[in-house]
Structures are given as C-alpha cells and as structure tokens.
Amino acid sequence: MKRRPIAEVMLALGGLITTAAFFMAFLWAPATVYPDGRINFSQKIFYFHVPVAEASFLVFFFTAFYGVRFLMTKDRRYDVMARVATEVTLFFVLLTMATGILWTRVEWGVWWQWEPRLTTYFIMTLLVIGYFVLRNSVEDDEKRATYAAAFGILAFIDAPISFFITRWVESIHPVVLAGGESSGLEPPMLITFIIAQVGMLMLGYAFYQMRLREEELHERLEALKISIGG
Amino acid sequence: MDGLAWRQFKAILRKDIVMELRTREMVTSMGLYAILTMVVYQVALSEAGASLDVRLVMPGLIWVAFIFMSLLGLNRSFVHEKDQGCIEALLLAPIDRPVIFFSKFTGNLLFLLVVEVLSLPVFSFLFLQEQQGIANPVWMVGLVLLGASIGISGVGTLLATISVNTSGRDIMLAVLFVPLMYPLLRAAVGATFAAVIGGPASAALFWGWMAWVAAFDVIMLLVAFALYEFVIGA
C-alpha cells in the first residue's frame, strides 16, 4: 500500500489558497457596479460559485474516464476510482447549486428559474444522484461496476451540454469568460478568480485521493477479516 | 452488414414481433397507458377554461405521455427476456452483441411508433376538435415522432438492459432514463410546437430543433451501441 502524502499537502495548500482567494475577493478585487451606480456586492460569490462549478465538471469527467478504463480492463480499482470521482462530483455539484441559488435569489429575485444553464445543471445533478441509486440497487459486484461505468459515460454527455449551453442559446445566466467585447475581467479580478480556481481544484484532488485511500483501507480491512476467518 | 448478421437480426426481430402479435402485451399496455394519460390531462386542464388554446400545451402533453409510455414498453421488452431465460439463450447463441442491440432497438422503436401513431389521432379527437388544426404539414410532426423515438429506443434499450438486472426495475429505469432524455425531449417539444403553431419563422425553428434531435440521436446511439456489448455481457 502506497502512502500518498501529496493528498495532505494538496489539502493544506488548497485550503490556504482558497482562503486567500476569499480575502482577495473582498479586499483586493474591485467591486462591480450596477448601471445606476450601486455597488454589486452579490458578484463576490463569483469567486466561489464558478470555481466549484468548473471543478464539478472536471471531476465528473473522471467518472466517465475511469468508466471507460474499467470497461477496457475490467480492473476493479477503476470502478472504485470512478465511484470516488462521482462522490467528489456530487459534493461540488451540491455546493454549486447552493451558491447558485443564493445568487439567483439576490440578483434575479427568485430562488429558481428554468433557464438553460440551471436546467441542464439540475439534470446533471439528477444524473449524479441516479448514478448512486443505480449502484445501490445492483447486488453483484461486477454487474454493478459495469452498469455504473456505462451510466457514468452516458451521464457525462450532459456536462459539456450544460457547460456550453449559455454560449449556444439565449440565456440569462452570465457568461464571464466567453471572449467578446462586454466580457472579461479586470486583472485583479481575473487573478483572484484563477487563484480561487486553482485552490478549488487542489481541494478536489485532495478529497479524491483521501477518499480513495479510505476505500483501500476499507478493502484491506475486509480482506483481513476474511483471512482470519471472520 | 453481411448476410449472416442480417439473418440473425431478422430472426430476433421476428421473434419479438411474433411474440407481440400473440400476446399484444406491449402495444395494448402502452396504448391503454396513453389513453389513461389523456383522461388525467382532461382532469388537469378542467379548470383552465374554454379559452385555453390546447395547441400551446399539446406538444408538451404528448411528449409527457410518450416518455412515460415508452418507459412502460421498454421495461416490458426485457422483463420477458430475463424472466423466461431468453437472454441467456441469446447470449449463448453465436450472435454478435451489436446484432442483439440493433434488433431489440428496432423492435422497441417499431412498437413505440405504432402506439404513438395510433394515439395521436385519439389525442386530437379528444382535445383539438374545437381548435384550429395543425398549422404545418402533418409529416413534420411525423418526422419529430420518428427522430425522437429513435433516441428514446436507442438509449432506452441500453438502460432497460441495465434496469432489468437491478432490484428496483421500473423505478430504476425512470430514474436513469428521464434525466438522460431531457435534451431530446426539450428538442422534440420545440419541434412539435413549431410544427403545430406554425407562423412565418416556424420552418427555421422546426429545423433548428430537429438538428438537436438528430445530433442527440447520433451521439446517443453511438455511445449506447458501444456500451451495449459490455452491459449485456455483465
């Protein structure tokens, strides 16, 4: 069994960096203003909401990736990796939903709006939850792993749709980093955002590795139990 | 496709069709389900008043009926295979797995289309008599039916193969199927709406939504086809 000190390092570093980005967001990055001159304070959630959302898409990719790897090799380790990646995805998805809903309440005046980005992201949430419902209802280990891999790959197709939908169709969800004249950020805002994003990805990696290690320990424990005739 | 695969494809499809003709189980239960859904729609719309233009909500209503109806049929199509041990026989026979996928897919598509085509006139008989008819030619609605049913049957065949092996069977298929179908359903409702309501921009709108339907079909069919071999062998 390998020790992975890198997970702890990433956790500490990611924690520090995201905390730093949090302070930078409030103390350094300039606030945006509404057309009527009022300060747009709710925009500050951008430095948290967008990093967790991007992280959720990225980690979800590994569900599909390890799903493909599992189907190619039938190696159980990839199934565990895919499941752990989906767990981390669920964590980020719920954070994205929570922060998004807070922002829409302040900015749009409603908690929820059936808007293309929100709708496709909600669908993605349901798919991630469905992945675990599916896993829980299959008894046989190999069947469970195969079905989960297949569903994970199918489900991931929604992620790029949800990501690009605001660029394809008319949507009231802001598209900040799309290029074009009205988009883009001032340098201090962009730097703060990038730092928050890097920190969040480090945290995601740390959660993934630590959960994976927990799973490995759990499996070793089960194997030991069997070996002593338990 | 070479001659052997084509004969195998026909044999499995014929088996499904013969079984359906003898039991009439899928088409009857799906058709009844569609009619029951219309009764529920009558209840749902009963307080909306005579001023409601049913055509505005009709595209959504028919796709709600079709998606839940297809859930029923898809489940049925594999419960037999599983409970009577037919799937083991299919797997033991020297048949390529893709052939099994395409024959089951074609069978499901066929039954789904039959029920859809039969229930649409009933729907318009019950709800659209006092309304204006469909603005654009009827073949446009037919095209949406075909396009969306291909996607429904393709993904549905794969997911039904999965869900029949789970403990929750019926509910499991719904949990996996409905969210995956969202992009297709949205496009199907959009295209149906454009065909029904009409207007100067409706042709462009229709083909725009149909492009989504086609894209979904191609992507999902390819992925489902690629995954089927693993899923049915598990």
Both structure tokens of B76? 């049925």
Residue with tokens 């909500």: B57
Model pLDDT, residue B126: 83
Model pLDDT, residue A2: 58
Candidates A123, A149, A150; nearest CB to B179: A123
Of A174-188, B38-52, B141-155, B195-209, where does mean pLDDT reach its minimum? A174-188
Q: Which residues of B touch A161 (CB under 8 A)?
A: 183
Assess whether pLDDT exceeds 70 at residue A178: no
Model pLDDT, residue B65: 92
Q: How confident is the model at residue A109 (pLDDT cuts 50, 70, 90)?
A: confident
CB contact under 8 A, B166 and A138: yes
Cα–Cα distance for residue pair B148/B134, rounded to 1 Å: 19
Both structure tokens of B152? 């429904």
Candidates A133, A146, A154; nearest CB to B230: A146
Model pLDDT, residue A65: 96
| Mean predicted confidence (pLDDT) in A29-45 | 80
Q: Please enumerate in sequence order all residues whose Cβ is within 8 A of that of A107, keeping only pairs 6 or more positions apart, or say none.
A: A42
CB contact under 8 A, A143 and B227: no
Mean residue pLDDT of chain A comes to 88
Assess contact for B163 and B176: CB atoms under 8 A: yes
Question: Which one, of A27, A50, A7, lies nearest residue A196 by Cα?
Answer: A50
Question: Which one, of B174, B153, B147, B155, lies nearest residue B224 by Cα?
Answer: B155
Q: How many helices (H) and strands (E) does chain A have?
A: 7, 2
Q: How confident is the model at residue B70 (pLDDT cuts 50, 70, 90)?
A: very high
Question: Which one, of A175, A126, A169, A118, lies nearest residue B211 by Cα?
Answer: A169
Candidates B172, B183, B227; nearest CB to A153: B227
Cβ atoms within 10 Å of A142's Cβ, excluding its own: 12
> Residue type at A197?
Q
Indicate the pTM of the whole model: 0.89
Q: What is the pLDDT of residues A111-130, one digit of tens each?
A: 888 888 899 999 999 999 99
Give the best residue of B91, B165, B205, B228 to mutate against chain A (max A CB count within 10 A).
B165
Q: Please enumerate in sequence order all residues whose Cβ is within 8 A of that of B85, keeping only pairs 6 or more positions apart, or say none.
A: none
Cβ atoms within 10 Å of A194's Cβ, excluding its own: 13
| Mean predicted confidence (pLDDT) in A20-43 | 82
| Mean predicted confidence (pLDDT) in B42-52 | 82
Task: Tell me which H or E stretch contains A196.
Answer: helix A187-227
Q: Which of A129-133, A212-216, B75-79 has the highest mean pLDDT?
A: A129-133
Cα–Cα distance for residue pair B73/B156, rounded to 1 Å: 10
Question: Which one, of A48, A3, A1, A14, lies nearest residue A206 by Cα?
Answer: A14
Assess whether pLDDT exceeds 90 at residue A156: yes
Q: Which of A46-50, B1-5, B90-94, B106-110 has the highest mean pLDDT?
A: B106-110
Q: Please enumerate in sequence order all residues whose Cβ is within 8 A of that of B197, keeping only pairs 6 or more positions apart, or say none.
A: B55, B56, B135
Q: How confident is the model at residue A73 (pLDDT cuts 50, 70, 90)?
A: very high
Cα–Cα distance for residue pair B21/B114, rounded to 1 Å: 13
Assess whether pLDDT exceeds 60 at residue B138: yes
Model pLDDT, residue A30: 80
The pairing of beta strand A32-33 with beta strand A39-40: antiparallel
Q: How confident is the model at residue A177 (pLDDT cuts 50, 70, 90)?
A: low
More confident residue, A166 or A88: A88
Q: How many alpha carbons lie under 13 Å from residue B157 in its C-beta half-sphere?
A: 32
Query: What's chain B's Rg over C-alpha atoms?
Result: 19
Q: Which residues of A touch B231 (CB under 8 A)?
A: 146-147, 150
| Mean predicted confidence (pLDDT) in B192-216 | 89
E strand residue ranges, B22-103 = none
Tell me A68's DSSP state.
H
Percent of chain B with pLDDT over 70: 99
Q: Which residues of A touch B220 (CB under 8 A)?
A: 154, 157
Q: Please enumerate in sequence order all residues whose Cβ is within 8 A of that of B107, keeping only pairs 6 or more positions apart, or say none.
A: B12, B13, B16, B17, B20, B77
Q: Which CATH class is domain A5-28+41-171+191-227?
A: mainly alpha
